[in-house]
Amino acid sequence: MTAGLAVAIVGAGRMGQEHAAALTAAGDRVRWVIDADPRSAAALAGAHGAESGTDLDRLLATTTPDAVVIATPSEQHLSQALRCAHLPTLLEKPPWLGDQDPTPLVAASRVAGRLVAVGMTTRFDPAICSVQKAVSAGRIGQVLSIDDTINFVLGDESLPAWYHQPHHRGGGIVQTNGVHALDRVSWILGELPRLVTARAGSTARTDPIEDSATIVLTTDTASVTVNVLWSQYEPPPTRLTVVGTLGTATAFADGSWQVTTIDGTEQGAAAPDRNNYLTQWHAFRAALADPRAPSTIPTVYDLVGPMTLLSQTIATLDIRG
């Protein structure tokens, strides 16, 4: 595929807007926008010269998009992806919830032979990519530990109403950001770690929500600690550090990175203008252009393991106020 793609965006909220901007920057076109709120659909469609609607099934019955982006609230992802699995699809995380069975989606994707990718944008962050490459190349030796910390300021008013539903159906921090951490530590390790324990908390907010968590994981040779926090104050900086037998590799929130081994230190500069959504869309598009070539875009098959780990984590959470 070399010509610009005609893309349908399902979900006109912030994530839909991010994806629409990315694919437009890549030279593709938002052709249709679907959202349960007709005003939201019309607003995003109007910004891109697209058609708007509220009925996904009607769209699929009357048109054939070159690709579909699903960016709706989490509990809708699986059912909508199933309806779109005959088309190349980029599905926002999480691709399904902990109490949903992904088997029909995985099977449908295999039968149709279509790409159903999952939007795990942190895999496309330059700092995270640099750490993963250093580990996979063996530069820091055998991994001994990973410390993955994701902290940022997030007020109640920053969250859509559906985020304030119970953690297993809504958008609590484990499901929203923990899924990124579980995916990328598995990707960096090259294997799925095992859950040891998990603890989540809810701070004093207007609308109580699971907004902090610690997840402890292990492999036969490494320990992993994941800390995630939505704070109402300036928190400690986000960073990911991998310690190995021959060195360490660290990714920082500004896109910079550092690898230190017995041979010295290598660093990458901050990348304040990076656009992980655009890089991800380029990877999605490349996978469509040549399905046989190695791809960096994770698919629903790749997410089965991390999502199983996420389900186990949510099922065992000790949530404390």
What domains are there in the chain, each with its CATH number?
6-121 (3.40.50.720), 125-272+300-320 (3.30.360.10)
The pTM score is 0.94
pLDDT of residue 1: 43
Does the pLDDT value for residue 81 go beyond 60?
yes
CA–CA separation, 148 vs 131, rounded Å?
A: 12
Q: Coil, strand or helix: which one is 188? A: helix
What is the 3-class SS of 206-270, one letter each residue? CCCCCCEEEEEEECCCCEEEEEEEEECCCCCCCEEEEEECCEEEEEECCCCEEEEECCEEEEECC
CA distances from residue 145 to 6, 137, 220, 226, 244 in whole angstroms, order as listed? 44, 17, 11, 11, 7
pLDDT tens digits for range 118-141: 999 999 999 999 999 999 999 999
Question: Residue 247: beta bridge partners?
Answer: 261
Nearest CA-CA partner of 16 in 52, 59, 57: 52
Q: Choose between 294 and 190: higher pLDDT.
A: 190
Tokens of 73: 């609230």
CA–CA separation, 101 vs 304, rounded Å?
A: 10
pLDDT of residue 121: 96
- The average pLDDT across 294-299 equals 93
Does the pLDDT value for residue 2 go beyond 80?
no
Reported as a pLDDT band with limits 50, 70 and 90, residue 206 is confident
Does the pLDDT value for residue 195 go beyond 90?
yes
Range in 28-37, 94-103, 163-172 the model is least confident about: 163-172
Mean pLDDT of the chain: 93
Reported as a pLDDT band with limits 50, 70 and 90, residue 319 is low
Residue 48 one-letter amino acid: H
pLDDT tens digits for range 32-51: 999 999 999 999 999 999 99
Q: What is the residue-wise DSSP string for 87-135? A: S-EEEESSSS-TTS--HHHHHHHHHHT--EEEE-GGGG-HHHHHHHHHH
- The average pLDDT across 205-220 equals 89
Does the pLDDT value for residue 168 go beyond 90?
no
CB-hemisphere CA count at 13 Å for 252? 14
How much of the chain, in percent, has pLDDT values that exceed 70? 97
pLDDT of residue 167: 62
Report yes or no: 281 and 26 within 8 Å, Cβ to Cβ.
yes
pLDDT tens digits for range 225-240: 999 999 988 999 999 9
Does the pLDDT value for residue 104 go beyond 90?
yes
Residue 301's CB: how many other CB atoms inside 10 A? 13
Does the pLDDT value for residue 321 go beyond 60?
no
